[in-house]
Amino acid sequence: MKIAIYPGSFDPITKGHLNIIERASKIFDRLIVCVMVNAEKNPMFTQSEREDMIRRVTAHLGNVEVDASNELLANYAQRKGSCVIVKGLRAVSDFEHEFQMALINRSINPQLDTMFLTAEHEYMYLSSSVVRELGSYHVSLEDYVPEILIDEVTKRINKANSK
Ligand code: ADP
């Protein structure tokens, strides 16, 4: 069974992330979407909010599961019996960092490969930080966030910005 891990911050999950999840779920037998909890980052959405949102928008995908971890990704993948990390590539600017991470992960866990899926052209400029920024200016998020999350994400961004 081919198990892949799709790691990220998902702060919050966007249509770009969901597009990668849907495509990767067709390639692998099992896909684990993992919210990477990084002590240095200060996310807008809590870990459980991020996990819950991913669960709801992937409920239609039977082979996708959602998890969270603060472990080193290479060790996490090994523990889960996975030998593939899936990453989305938006532009050349993503490439250098991702290339470095892929090589580091492989040096820690030589069984581990990283597979890059190119972003869909309409999501090339989409990131969670764009969503947080546009939301704070009350721009409609319908093109950026999965439909069922729009209200909740919009309210949550407003709440965070009113503090
Ligand atoms: P960001 O905060 O930049 O949105 P994440 O850390 O949550 O990113 O991203 C997790 C993974 O998803 C990374 O591999 C990233 O390159 C990829 N990704 C993020 N946004 C998109 C998108 N719009 N299209 C394709 N891949 C994406």
Tell me which residue of 91, 100, 85, 93 sits closest to 118, measured CA to CA. 91
**pLDDT band at residue 91 using 50, 70 and 90 as cut-offs:** confident
Q: Which of 41, 60, 121, 163 is catalytic?
A: 41
Asked if residue 123 has its Cβ within 6 Å of ligand 1, the reply is yes
- Give Cβ neighbours of residue 159 (< 8 Å, ≥ 6 apart): none
Asked if residue 156 has its Cβ within 6 Å of ligand 1, the reply is no
Query: What is the residue-averaged pLDDT of the chain?
Result: 95
Residue 102 has pLDDT above 90, yes or no: yes
d(CA 54, CA 42): 19
Q: Which residues pair with 103 in a beta bridge?
A: none
Q: Which atom in ligand 1 lies closest to the alpha carbon of residue 94?
A: 16
Average pLDDT over residues 123-147: 95
- Half-sphere CA count of 25, side-chain side, radius 13 A: 17
Average pLDDT over residues 130-142: 95
**pLDDT band at residue 40 using 50, 70 and 90 as cut-offs:** confident
Structure tokens at 55: 């669960």
pTM of this structure: 0.95
| Tens of pLDDT, residues 41-84 | 889 999 999 999 999 999 999 999 999 999 999 999 999 999 99
